[in-house]
Amino acid sequence: MTLLEQLAELLQRDPSDRRARARWHLLDWFACAVGARDSALAGALARLAAKGDAAAESLSVIGPMRSPEEALRVNGALGNVLEMDDVHRTSILHPGPVVVPAALAAAIEGHASLDGFLDAIVRGFDAVIRVGRALDAEHYRFFHTTSTAGAFGAASAAGSLFGLDTPALAQALALAGTRTGGLWQVRHGGMGKSWHNALAAESGLVAARWARAGVTGPLAVLEGPQGLFAATCSAPRPERLIEDAPWWIDDVSFKPWPACRHAHAVIDAALQVRAAMAQRSPMQIRTVEIASYGDALTFCDRAEPQNEAEAKFSLQHCAAVVLALGLPEALHFRQPFLRDRRLAALRAATTTRRDGNFDAAYPEHYGARVEVELHSGERLVATVSDALGDPVNPLDSDALAAKAATLITDVGIDDRSAEALIDYILAAPGELPAGDWYREALSWTQ
């Protein structure tokens, strides 16, 4: 059997005992996507799309679109714009922004129940994480793993909702795998990350549709001589794809801060340093030193961010925001704060270095150390081994609900509606048609 045939067999397990967990990830995606309504990308997509009717299959989080496919692309694009989407640390990818929109589109198309939709999310997360864990560091140097592995997760979720048996699901995964990709050059400008997510979600959905109709793909698309491993990895780990493990959704992290996940341990450590400073002013800081693992510096060593996207990928800006202002908020990454003299001075006083101990622990642990020297000569140091929101350092349910409420109310939705929406997402009856659930959830955001 090929790897994808074995994976398809694993994905047929009963995921119903993970539905409660899946609801939290559904809430997290929904809040992130709705919270991005005022973004430049949302504005561009709204201008691009011709408006359609308000049928559930053509509804996106920014309104009716002219087709279900366009609604899917919008939903897939907006889930990661705020950089608050969920993340799986060892596969180094974000399952929710790709899997949930694909599952939602398939659930509405197939007239599935909310429970069926939640089951599909669990299966989709499992597929994307298993594929991501099988890829290696060489792959991650060049490829956006959320996009690469994301199409497999989307195909798994859609296949679950279309009732594909094991052979048909393997074909859906194979078809999705032939179209996967996404180059990391996107981190050097533009909105390409969101484009990657939208197309990964769509590719998986279409692959499942085609497999349902009997279209076949290359089942050895992972391990074959011209397959994904050969093309993009130097040391793939195929055994991880089919290892005996619980549902991987339990191992996914929730992000508390609106920045790249590689910057979160720095934020957490800087918060500890700020607390130790007590009543002392940030103006008393002479230097800031950040130490972390290699990928944190590769992706986020940016001393002079020029825009919001770059600021969210800047260790220096993240640390400066925390040391000067406290808990980081979305507005702290926008232009007025990029031009703030206090923050600019702190960024200029910051150095970064790669630390072998953090490298050795990564990617099982995302760690960082922040050391501040005051003009008095006093040094304040904080070390974080695991970023807040990881399974070993989790956010509790109150914090997750508060995060969702903040994202939803940031776009002008009142507190009462946000609270009602969160309660609805977490408690809506499982037998409710997914399309009815979605239309009702969106009505709370109007």
Start-to-end Cα distance in the chain: 50
**Boundary-marking domain end, from 213, 228, 251:** 251
Same domain, 244 and 303: no
Same domain, 314 and 336: yes
**Do both 102 and 216 map to the same domain?**
yes
Q: Does 130 fall in a domain?
A: yes
Note the pLDDT tens digit of each residue in 123-157.
999 999 999 999 999 999 999 999 999 999 999 99
pLDDT, tens only, 338-370? 999 999 999 999 999 999 999 999 999 999 999
Radius of gyration of the chain (CA): 21
153 within a domain of the structure (yes/no): yes
Identify whether 67 is part of a domain: yes
- pLDDT less than 70: residues of the chain: 50-54
Range of the domain at 135: 3-251
88 and 156 together in one domain: yes
Q: Do residues 341 and 376 both lie within one domain? A: yes
Q: Which of 328, 361, 384 is the last residue before a domain boundary?
A: 384
Give the chain's domain count. Answer: 2
**Same domain membership, residue 362 and residue 214:** no
Which CATH number covers residue 151? 1.10.4100.10
Within-domain flag for 184: yes
Domain annotation covers residue 401: no
The pLDDT value given to residue 54: 67
Q: Domain for residue 206, yes or no?
A: yes
User: What's the pLDDT score for residue 52?
Assistant: 60
Residue 119 in domain: yes
Q: Of 251, 278, 297, which residue sits at a domain end? A: 251
On whether both 57 and 104 belong to a single domain, the answer is yes
Are 277 and 244 members of one domain? Answer: no
Let me know whether 74 and 131 are in one domain.
yes
Contacts 24+ apart (CB under 8 A), 306-310: 306/338, 307/335, 307/338, 308/333, 308/334, 308/335, 308/338, 309/189, 309/191
Please indicate, yes or no, whether residues 134 and 282 belong to a single structural domain of this protein: no
SS (H, E, C) 46-87: HHHCCCCCCCHHHEECCEECCCHHHHHHHHHHHCCCCCCCCE
Task: Please indicate, yes or no, whether residues 342 and 285 belong to a single structural domain of this protein.
Answer: yes
Q: Would residue 422 count as lying in a domain? A: no
CATH label of the domain that carries residue 275? 3.30.1330.120
Whether 341 and 279 map to the same domain: the answer is: yes
Which helix or strand (DSSP H or E) is residue 122 part of?
helix 114-134
DSSP strands (E only) in 84-224: none
Q: What is the pLDDT of residue 58?
A: 86
* CA 270 from centre of chain: 23
pLDDT at 336: 93
Rounded to whole angstroms, the Cα distance separating 124 from 240 reads 16
